[in-house]
């Protein structure tokens, strides 16, 4: 579904990504992990169209989307969340989700129905008429996912949606993500909660100082010397 070919991005003298290549197959959950500053969010900014690479190419379903703007990527089926949740605070949870739904279905009633379906999927129906300022951290994270899902994406980019959650909340979120995948949405996620990554992901990419040092299955990641040295640490082993 997604192919990233030799993507490089620099900011002045800082190289955020260097010659990064990997694929994401339809119907899979793939994780991108690595130390802070490894280039993970820069990669998501490029995939969503917020930034363009200095060189390299990105293909979605075979079409070149390297220079697409975010609106076009949203229309073709790429949804994205952000590390810092920024809902519309003066609108209800339902209306926040409806905004995304109306992008693909401009009729109000259809948008409301779609938004209610998503809130049901994320176990947020009881919160529909609340305002985001009254939500817990977990529910604000769920709302961020709900808004992205409202676009009806085929590929969902999730940027640290489990950060700051306790173990019980993480387990609940894992069930939600598995449900999203089961419903037909491919997921590419950035995450630091390693036990969740290992149990959720079909494949994992590891970035370090902007370079890919691993791309494979979780069972192989925990035995990879480069990953242990750069990210896991010997204590993990």
| 1-77+153-237 CATH | 3.40.50.300
Work out the end-to-end distance of the chain between its first and last CA atoms, rounded to an integer number of angstroms: 34
Residue 103: its pLDDT value, please?
Answer: 82
Question: Residue 26 pLDDT > 70, yes or no?
Answer: yes
pLDDT higher than 70, residue 237: no
CA–CA dist 61, 19 (Å, integer): 21
Tell which residue, 80, 200, 61, has the closest CA to residue 149.
80
CB contact set of 224 (below 8 Å; sequence gap of 6+): 206, 213, 214, 216
Instruction: Determine the pLDDT at residue 236.
Output: 62
User: Using an 8 Å Cβ cutoff, are 206 and 221 in contact?
Assistant: yes
Task: For the chain, give the mean pLDDT.
Answer: 93
Q: What is the pTM of this model?
A: 0.93
pLDDT tens sequence across 107-150 = 899 889 999 999 998 999 999 999 999 999 999 999 999 999 99
Query: Is residue 81 within a helix (H) or strand (E), and if so which, with residue range?
Result: none
| pLDDT at site 138 | 93
Annotated domain spans of the chain: 1-77+153-237, 84-152
Distance of alpha carbon 184 from the chain centroid: 15
């Amino acid at each position: 579904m997604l192919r990233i070919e030799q993507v490089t991005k620099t900011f002045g003298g800082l190289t955020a990504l260097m010659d990064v290549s990997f694929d994401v197959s339809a119907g899979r959950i793939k994780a991108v992990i690595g130390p802070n500053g490894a280039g993970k969010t820069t990669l998501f900014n490029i995939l969503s169209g917020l930034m363009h690479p200095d060189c390299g190419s990105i293909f979605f379903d075979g079409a070149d989307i390297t220079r697409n703007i975010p609106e076009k990527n949203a229309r073709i089926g790429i949804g994205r969340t952000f590390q810092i949740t920024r809902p519309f605070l003066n609108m209800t949870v339902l209306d926040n989700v409806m905004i995304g739904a109306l992008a693909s279905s401009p009729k109000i009633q259809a948008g409301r129905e779609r938004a209610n379906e998503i809130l049901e999927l994320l176990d947020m129906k009881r919160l529909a008429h609340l305002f985001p300022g009254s939500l817990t951290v977990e529910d604000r994270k769920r709302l961020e996912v709900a808004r992205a899902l409202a676009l009806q994406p085929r590929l969902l980019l999730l940027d640290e949606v489990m950060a700051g959650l306790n173990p019980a909340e993480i387990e609940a979120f894992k069930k939600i993500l598995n449900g999203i995948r089961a419903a037909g949405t491919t997921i590419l996620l950035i995450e630091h909660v390693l036990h969740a990554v290992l149990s959720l992901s079909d494949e994992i990419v590891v970035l370090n100082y902007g370079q890919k040092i691993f791309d494979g299955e979780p069972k192989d990641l925990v035995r990879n010397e480069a990953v242990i040295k750069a990210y896991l640490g010997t204590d993990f082993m």
